[in-house]
Amino acid sequence: MKCLLVADLHYALKQYDWLLNAAPDFDVIIIAGDHLDLSSHVPRPAQIVVVLKYLQRLRSLATLVTCSGNHDLDALTAEGEKTAGWFSDIRNMGISADGDSTMIDGTLFTICPWWDGPVTRAAVSAQLARDAAKEKKRWVWVYHAPPADSPTSWDGKRSFGDKELTQWIAEYRPDFVFSGHVHYAPVQPGGSWIDRIGSTWIFNAGYQLGPMPACVVIDTDEEAILWFSTTRLEHARLSAHESREVERITEIPAWFTAADRILGLAPR
């Protein structure tokens, strides 16, 4: 399975265009929250309309899963907690989103909403407990915030990670957690786009300006992980079971046949 992780697109339409170009080369596209931008001059309802059109197009090109982030919250639950009400439209398009669980080639994807209070947090906890009991070859969580006290949640001054997530990882030990939220963790001293908590891999794609989002590519058949940004290209191995060591590389691995097209390295 070949997966592409991005997050924190924040209504950057050129980056959605990039995703449309990249999508056919992947089995699964993961957008780990923050589709919208609270600081944009475009009204949030208008942003939602445009993003929904992009997601519908993406769904026609690859399997798409997405969770909400803190910028995506536009409504209140009955208990008064903030929620991404417009994500019901995403699910109505047949896209796995907040609160959903979907099995893809034996891999269970658990997609968690951004929780704003004890009721939503309890719902996430119950969702993880239900999915823990399901038979699966591999377990993936899509969760906007990375875990607390991880390099993937370090912004250069302190951790902005989710403490409950750290506890849930210790309890259930998923294989992968795909996240975002802490924009510059991958480029901060002491930060990273990748971490290990026990046997669980943690990924935070990071944020960058420009037409291409920072992204993580995972190929489970090749047991390979790549991180692309405008600053550098790094590589790690899923087979390195006791390590999260990464290597900066200057050449694209031969197995990543989509590189020439989606990274603009050569015409195709």
Residue 143's pLDDT is: 98
| Mean pLDDT, all residues of the chain | 92
Question: Any idea what the Cα angle at residue 212 is, between residues 205 and 153, rounded to 5°?
Answer: 20
Contact 224, 190 (CB under 8 A): no
Among 87, 186, 185, which Cα is nearest to 142's?
Answer: 87
Choice among 51-65, 157-171, 206-220, 246-260 with the minimum mean pLDDT = 246-260
How many residues appear in the chain?
268
Residue 241's pLDDT is: 58
Asked whether the predicted pLDDT for residue 268 surpasses 50, the reply is no
Residue 237's pLDDT is: 87
Asked whether the predicted pLDDT for residue 239 surpasses 90, the reply is no
**CATH, domain range 2-262:** 3.60.21.10
What's the pLDDT tens digit per position in 105-152? 999 999 999 999 999 999 999 999 999 999 999 999 999 999 999 999
Residue 254's pLDDT is: 74
Task: Using pLDDT thresholds of 50, 70 and 90, give the confidence band for residue 256.
Answer: confident
Q: What is the mean pLDDT of residues 74-88?
A: 96
% of the chain with per-residue pLDDT over 70: 93
pTM of the model: 0.94
Residue 266's pLDDT is: 38
